[in-house]
Amino acid sequence: MTSPTLIFDLDGTLVDSAPDLIAAMNHTLTTEDIPTVDYTIARSWAGLGARGSVLKAASYHGLDANKLPLDAMFDTFLKHYLANISRLSQPFEGVIEALTQMRDMGWALGICTNKYQRYAEALLSDLALDGFFEVIIGADSTPWRKPDARHLTETINIMLQSADSTIFIGDSETDVATAKAANIPVIAVDFGYSLVSPDQLGADILVDHFDKIIPAANALLDQWQNSGV
């Protein structure tokens, strides 16, 4: 059986980074005397990044974002987040075991994330996950970012792999849209930060635990073989 290349999203897919992202957002809000947002409400905003989550919080509180010092707020968010990037964040259950097995099987592993490169590298290093991946491609690593298909296809090119044997794994509409635009099969996890129901994302396969990623990838490989790819 052909060995696949697996490329992963980061936040909400490999790592539950919402606690630190939402803490950074709430810290930023307090600097402007804006009420914080309860974690249970804001968790799904974690995939929106600094700008998106701050704007979402402003909208939640009925504030006019145009009247806020947004550039300063984004800077505050990023500084606080980098200083606390792995304070509460953890790999999702089963991630380390699955990545270890994939690596031992000789699968090529990479990351394509809309997180800035330095933040992605810092988080993965702190959690001792960086050694699993051949490349870590962030939002500022190429001229494109998801959902532009070229962010994903350039990741494949940098890995010196073929799109014909690549699978993308993510948790959001953006991830699924990126894979589909690149004509790459996509597995979605249902425990991330999707703003819509995961079963509505349109992924080729939806999984509820990381121990199902390898069987899902093998199922897609079987489809390729049966189709003569």
Report the catalytic residues.
9
Q: Phi then psi for 187, rounded to 5 degrees?
A: -105, 130
- From first CA to last CA, the distance across the chain in angstroms is 12
How many angstroms separate the CA atoms of 32 and 6, rounded? Answer: 42
Q: Nearest Cα to 13, choosing from 166, 135, 128, 171? A: 171
